[in-house]
Amino acid sequence: KKLGVALVGLGSYSTYQLAPSLLDTEHCYLAGIVTGTKEKESVWQEKYNIPKENIYNYENFDTIGDNDSIDVIYVVLPNSMHAEFCIRAAKAGKHVICEKPMAVSVAECDAIINACNEHKVKLSVGYRMQSDPYTHEVKKYVREKTFGDVLFVSSDAGYVSKGNPDQWRLNKKLSGGGALMNMGVYAIQTSIYGTGQNPISVSAQEFSTRPDYFMDTDETITAQFKFENGAVAHMMTSHNANGNRLKCHCSKGWFELDPAHSYGPISGRTSNGDVLKFPHKRQQALQMDDFAKHILLDSKNLAPGEMGKRDMIIVEAIYKSIREGGQEQLLSLGDLGIVV
Ligand code: NAD
């Protein structure tokens, strides 16, 4: 059986990445859409051969529970709308994929996790890199200590934001925050799978070079994580500087991905002179198939809700460290049961 996926929010990520990827998946397919823009209905219906009864808007969305051809609802809306629509999806009895960042607060992550547990549906976060073969290789180097112990990790995630200053990503009410919410979650993720550990503390700093443009949200943030074994990670995230890199410095060498988290192909090399090379497939197709296999075959959920919540705990600690100028303890992350 192939699972039917309905995309909620037909903006650029749904249009240019998720819908085309769903033509390339083995265990799921694009079965439905949920949109607030009437004109998009017929365009998508025609392009992807979507039956009329599988087209919903934000008002009649809750009746999707009666539609047996939809198994998974993928929420691809501005960050502050993730919680509401994930919870409505869970109440409709559908499995949920929630885009990153999972929500705009830890409390909202908890509400999503609780709703999915209560309604006995599966939940994952749209962390496409968790399904990418380069990520799996990095995790293997860390686990098998191919280059010895990882002692220092450096990771960057950013781009130069231009255009309409009223876009939702620069509006805190809709985005929950700036670069850290949008791109910072990649640097948090690489810091964690680059060391194979959850951090035990973080110190962070915020910088701004274009305050007139970034009036409501953070532009550039740096943060340093400490790990239980003494390892350290330094991350940079920005809406005003390009960054797309992970470098792991180890006791017997190094390995790096550069680019580390764009749509691919990713590129990697090691201190042995090896160049990493894996066949390219859309990460989003791999990600949605991995989640479908989790539902159908009970394989591992590579990006469970608890992982999104863990990263949101770190995001909140980073903002607190910036506000208060100190080091934030993160000692209870291990309780969530998520390692990398
Ligand atoms: P977008 O601006 O292109 O699309 C947003 C969609 O939400 C549009 O269809 C818009 O009509 C709809 N919408 C509903 N209410 C809105 C409101 N009040 N304001 C603005 N738009 C509203 O954004 P996007 O790039 O598609 O991002 C959507 C989500 O996907 C975000 O959470 C983002 O972080 C995530 N995303 C993830 C990746 C990834 O690689 N995993 C990449 C891009 C975006």
175: CA distance to ligand 1 center in Å?
10
What's the whole-number mean pLDDT along residues 25-47? Answer: 98
Per DSSP, the three-state class of 325 is coil
Q: Is the pLDDT reported for residue 264 higher than 90?
A: no
Q: What pLDDT score does 340 carry? A: 79
Q: What pLDDT score does 245 carry? A: 98
Q: How far apart are CA 207 and CA 231, in angstroms?
A: 25
Q: How far apart are CA 60 and CA 25, in angstroms?
A: 28
Cα distance between the two ends of the chain: 30
Q: How far apart are CA 169 and CA 181, in angstroms?
A: 9
Where do the domains of the chain lie, and which CATH numbers do they carry? 3-126 (3.40.50.720), 129-272+304-336 (3.30.360.10)
Q: Is the pLDDT reported for residue 317 higher than 80?
A: yes
- If we measure between CA atoms, which residue out of 74, 73, 122, 80 comes closest to residue 103? 80
ipTM higher than 0.90?
A: yes
Of all protein residues, the one whose alpha carbon is nearest to atom 2 of ligand 1 is 11
Ligand 1 atom index nearest CA of 100: 34
| Helix residue ranges per DSSP H, 119-211 | 133-144, 172-175, 179, 185-195
- For residue 246, the cross-strand partners are 155, 257
Q: Which of 56, 74, 94, 100 is catalytic?
A: 100
Q: Which of 127, 134, 141, 186 is catalytic?
A: 186
- Candidates 76, 80, 190, 262: which one to mutate for ligand 1, based on the most atoms within 8 Å of Cβ? 76
Ligand 1 atom index nearest CA of 283: 40
Peptide bond before 101: cis, by omega within 30 degrees of 0? yes
Starting at the edge strand found earlier in the chain, the sheet holding 232-238 runs: 275-276, 268-270, 253-257, 240-250, 150-160, 232-238, 220-226, 201-207, 327-329
Measured torsion, CA atoms of residues 140, 143, 147, 153, in degrees rounded to the nearest 10: 90
Per-residue exposure over 116-152, b if at least 16 CB sit within 10 Å of its own CB, e if not: beebebbbbbbbbbbbbbbbebbbebbeeebbeebbe
Q: What is the DSSP string of 258-271?
A: SS-SSSS---EEET
Active site residue 186: yes
Residue 23: what residue type?
A: L
What does the block give as tokens for 229?
Answer: 């074994």
Peptide bond before 78: cis, by omega within 30 degrees of 0? no
| Helix residue ranges per DSSP H, 176-272 | 179, 185-195
131: CA distance to ligand 1 center in Å?
21
Angle between helices 133-144 and 185-195 (to 10 degrees): 40
73: CA distance to ligand 1 center in Å?
15
Active site residue 159: no
- For residue 157, the cross-strand partners are 237, 244
39: CA distance to ligand 1 center in Å?
17
Q: What pLDDT score does 329 carry? A: 97
17: CA distance to ligand 1 center in Å?
12
Burial of 227 (0-12, 13-18, 19+ CB in 10 A): buried
Q: What pLDDT score does 39 carry? A: 97
Q: Give the number of C-alpha atoms closer than 13 A to the C-alpha of residue 187, restricted to the C-beta side.
A: 32
Q: Give residues (CB < 6 A) around ligand 1.
A: 9-14, 36-37, 76-79, 99-100, 126, 128, 168, 174, 182
Q: What pLDDT score does 339 carry? A: 73
pLDDT 10s digits, 243-260: 999 999 999 999 999 999
Q: How far apart are CA 226 and CA 316, in angstroms?
A: 16
Residue 243: what residue type?
A: G
Q: Greatest CA separation found in the chain?
A: 59
Within 63-190, strands assigned E span 72-75, 95-98, 123-125, 150-160
pLDDT 10s digits, 188-207: 999 999 999 999 999 999 99
pLDDT 10s digits, 115-162: 999 999 999 999 999 999 999 999 999 999 999 999 999 999 999 999
